[in-house]
Structures are given as structure tokens and as C-alpha cells.
Structure 1
């Protein structure tokens, strides 16, 4: 008999977008949404009634993932004894990644971000000031990661997910706590960040992939939709404090109405800005999934190639992911 758990949610569409962001495959079947994890668990959600059904081996792990994701998205989930009051750190995956190989993710709690980007495919539950921070028990993260590593062999363990990891004020301590586990399986510790407090922890991970999409404040406000307490100047200051060998800058090119950050003149400004703070490595990409609440559209392949040539002509080392 196939193991099964049942329950209910108040926002099936948002939950499924969140699962897709975590590497699940999501399909639409009439009034139902079906998500399948990389490990084979399946979650069905009825769009009309909110009823949930989880099947497959490891259904308990899938249930905990769903509950923790609901906390971060501000949704409600009830599943046979579990509820969205469960706030343990979220270890998810493994997820196949073009950049990282097989990646196991750590999604620290709260669903908070300093941005509400036009291109974000999940949509955070709260856009917050960079000074609204939280802490997470490093031992709890290590224990959950240790349990998960018994079942998989990732190439990377990545701080990522729903929200901004560097808002966790003790992220550095957590990275140090998990490093022996990660090194023990021959993997790397990776940070995906919007650069809010990247200088605090870039040197304690193997790779910090830090976003900087814009070189102009007006573009930054339009595309990244930051909290009023955030500024482009703050991000540049944070990046300037990092060792260039610790950071790869991620630039997502997109179009919002008639506005784009893919214009060659803007890209030359961005290259000059990065050069002024000693950063030379760039990863270019564009919108890959439908935005949750934004209007961003992807740029075309030709525009990505032009952008690459433009940045390379300014002396940057550029990789393209799409």
C-alpha cells in the first residue's frame, strides 16, 4: 500500500510555486496541481477546496517540507498532526542545478527579504528593512542537515530558498557549524544572496553568488523593488568589503514594461561599477519561471550574448546561464 498523508491549505497555487522553486516538478491536471519531488514524493492540491494529498516513500519528509514552506510564504497548512507552526530550519532537495551540480538547500525561516523583485518566482511573505534580522539555532540546522545527508550525496549545500539568507544574523556561525558535515561528503558550502549583508559571511562559504542587477538607483527601485531602507549604495558598499575571490556577481537581465537593465550603455555602467570595487566574475541569466507578483519578462538569447560581449569587452569574466 502506498504511504499517504492528507490535509488542507488556504493557498494551493502559492505553495506549488514554492515547491517548484525548491526543485519540484509541477503539473496542472484540471482543478488539481501535482508536484513531484526529486526523491519521488508527490503532492496533489485541489485548487477549489485546498485539499492536499501526499504520497510516496518519505511522505513525512515531504509533509515537513510543505509545512515549513508554508511558514515562509505566509500560507496555512494542516497535515495530520503537523501545522505551519513548525518553524525548524528547512533543508530541501537535492535539486539539480546548472551552476552547482546536485545541490542540497538550506532555507532559513521567516520568508523575509529586503527586495520584492519583479522577477521573483515565489514572492516573499514580507519585504523588510535590512535591520530586521533573526537568528536560528546552528545545532538545529546541523542536526537536520546530518539527517538529510544520510540519504543523498550532493555536490553543494546551499543557503538559498524563500527569503534573504543574510538577514539571519548568525549565518556565519551556522556556516561554520555545518562545514565539517559538508566537507565530509566532499561538497561545497554555497551562499545565494541579494547582497544585503554579504560581507558578513562571504569568506566562510566556498562560493558566494551575490546579486547586483542594476548600476542605477532608478532601475534598482523598478526591478528589485527594495524596502525603503535599502539602497543601491548599500549593496555596493557590502560587495566592496568582500574579497574578490570569494564572490561571483549574479546579474539577472529582464524587461519590465518598456524598462530593461539589458541596455548596453547600462551594462557598461555596471561593468565600471564592478571594476571600481575589484569584482571581475559575473554570472548572467534571465527570467526562467513566471514571476509570482511581478511583471518581468525574459530577454532573448541574442540580448544575453550581446550583454556577455559588452561585459567581457570591459574586462569582466562572464558566464551565461539560461
Structure 2
């Protein structure tokens, strides 16, 4: 099975379907994955297939590597559109996440003030106050909401926190008071003989109601683009994604579609 594990703290820049020219930051070891979800569609593979005992990069290492890379890019006349925290797992579980965000904003302001700072997160750590406060400081805090049904969240995202559920997630997402971007992966297929489909009318209706409550400043919807650890999944068609997006636009949301 082909998987993507990032082998550097700072990687790229790469062209992102959703973000443009993105300089990535990976807060995890290059030889493994650490995440509070175990998504059936994750390009990094399943957690259990990529265990690591390698220490996490230290705050100072991240600071040094980011500064060095931005210096190199500036010498080449290159400027990223965005500095994106993603990589081999859930970035907000790094114990120094808040401090690293503080450093990154300061470095961005000095080296490339036009670039945004973004965090791609699965939303599981929003109940940790220092994480929430750090996310409120970045330009684009992009939070995952793959379903409004707990059964579907367990099926697709497989959270490792027993208490993680949609009601708590919705409450935490509403705390951003609209300064948040919602990202949703739509997909179809089968898992253990059970149908996988988070595009049912029940779920889309509930998803739209959740958007009304959260009132995000942007919505990003997308489907499978790379190989997935579960082989019985497939893309949602462009026509279906566009139809979902149009329903969200009709109630006032800015929606981008990546297919």
C-alpha cells in the first residue's frame, strides 16, 4: 500500500488543491504517524501501520527549520501563499503547539507578511484551552467535520477518544464565533460489509444545519484524491459535490470544491 509520510519538519512548497502554494510544517517524526483519528481515507495510512518511538521535533527545531526555509525561498524570489500545519498526524497534539504557533506567526511577520498561517486539524483537541486559543490566532483554522452522525464519525474517522461525539464537536466549533473554516471529506464505499456514504440526505441536511450553527467564514468540501488505506472507497462525483456545495451557497456560505 502506498502511503505518504513527510520526512522533514518543513516540506514543500507544494501546490495544494485548497490552499495554493503551501509550505508545510510537520510536527511529527519522519518515520511514523501520530493522530487522534484513524481515518479510513488518510493518505498517511492507518496509525497501527506506522508506529514510531522517535521523539517529536522540539519547538526550537521547528523555529530554526522554518526560518532557514523561508530565507532560502526569499533568496530564490519565492513567497508561499500559506504556511500550513499538517504532516504525519494531528498537529494540535504536539505539547508545544501553542508556542510553535506563536513562533510561526512572528517568523511569518518578519519573512513573508503576505502569507497566511493555516492549521489543518481534525477538531479533536478543541477542548484543550491553550490549543483553542492558539487556533484563534492563526489566519485559517481549518477544522474537520466529516459527519453529524456519531455512527458515521466512528466508521469514517475512528476517533481514539471514547467521548468524542458530534454534540461536543459542534459546541466547540461554535466557540470560534464564525472565525473558522469547515472542511468535509465526502466519500462512498464499503467497510466490513457495511455501506459507507456520508452524502445521504439525512447527513447533508444535518450538515447544513450544523453550518448554520457554526457560521464559518468558509467551507471546503473535497473527495478522495490519493490512495486510501481502505481499498473499498471511491470518489464522490464532481456533479454530486457541486450539488452539495450549491445547497450550502444558497444559505449564504462561501464554498470551495476540490475534486
Indicate whether 1:237 and 2:179 are aligned: no
| Secondary structure of residue in 1 paired with 2:38 | coil
CA contact (8 A) 1:280 1:316 kept: yes
SS of match in other structure, 1:102: strand
Partner secondary structure for residue 184 of structure 2: strand
Q: Say which of 78, 82, 85 aligns to 1:156.
A: 82
Q: What residue number does 2:59 align with?
A: 138
Greater radius of gyration (CA): 1
Superimposed CA distance per residue, residues 19-66 of structure 1 (whole angstroms, 9 cap, x where no aligned partner): 5xx5xxxxxxxxxxxxxxxxxxxxxxxxxxxxxxxxxxxxxxxxxx3x
Residue 172 of structure 1: CA displacement? 1.7
Separation in 2, partners of 1:202, 1:228:
20
Q: How far apart, CA to CA, are the structure 2 residues paired with 1:215 and 1:120?
A: 19
> Which one of the candidate residues 185, 201, 220 is aligned to 1:252?
185
1:217 maps to 2:150 = yes
Per the TM alignment, residue 104 of structure 1 is displaced from its structure 2 partner at its CA by 1.0
Change in CA separation of 1:231 and 1:249 when aligned onto 2, cut-off 3 Å = same
1:182 and 2:182 are equivalent in the alignment: no
**Displacement, 1:119?**
1.2
Post-superposition CA distance 1:147-206 (Å, at most 9, x none)? 111222322111101100111233121111122221222321110111112434221111
8 A Cα contact 1:267 1:310, kept in partner: no
Distance, in Å, in 2 between the alignment partners of 1:278 and 1:102 is: 27
Report how far residue 126 of structure 1 moved: 5.0
**CA-atom RMSD, angstroms?**
2.3
Name the CA shift for 1:204/1:126 in 2 (closer, same or farther; >3 Å).
Answer: farther
Distance in 1 between residues matched to 2:45 and 2:144, nearest whole Å = 17
- The aligned residue for residue 27 of structure 2 is 108
2:46–2:229 Cα contact (<8 Å) kept: no
CA distance in 2, matches of 1:179, 1:228: 30
Q: Is the 8 A contact 2:181 2:220 kept in 1?
A: yes
Deviations 1:197-237 (A, max 9, x none): 24342211111111101011111111112214232233223
Contact 1:112–1:126, Cα closer than 8 Å, also in 2? no
TM-score, scaled to structure 2: 0.82
Alpha-carbon deviation of 1:108? 0.5
Segments of 5+ residues of structure 2 without an aligned counterpart are: 50-54, 74-78, 127-131
1:122 and 2:44 aligned: yes
Is residue 19–residue 81 contact of structure 2 (8 Å, CA) maintained in 1?
yes
Structure with bigger strand share is 1
Relative to structure 1, is the Cα distance of residues 126 and 166 closer, same or farther in structure 2, using a 3 angstrom cutoff? farther
For residues 240 and 215 of structure 2, the distance between their equivalents in structure 1, rounded to whole angstroms, comes to 25
- Give the aligned partner of residue 6 of structure 1: none
Q: CA deviation at 1:319?
A: 1.4
Instruction: Name the CA distance, whole Å, in 1 between partners of 2:34 and 2:48.
Output: 5
Q: What is the aligned partner in structure 1 of residue 119 from structure 2?
A: 191
Number of positions where the alignment pairs a residue of Structure 1 with one of Structure 2: 234
Q: What CA distance in whole angstroms lies between the structure 1 residues aligned with 2:61 and 2:182?
A: 30
5+ residue gaps, structure 1: 1-12, 23-64, 69-89, 128-133
In structure 2, how many angstroms separate the alpha carbons of the residues matched to 1:287 and 1:150?
34
Give me the whole-angstrom Cα distance separating, in 2, the residues matched to 1:232 and 1:265: 15
Contact 1:107 1:165 in 2 (8 A): yes
Alignment deviations for residues 110-132 of structure 1 (CA, whole Å, 9 cap, x no partner): 521111111112125359xxxxx
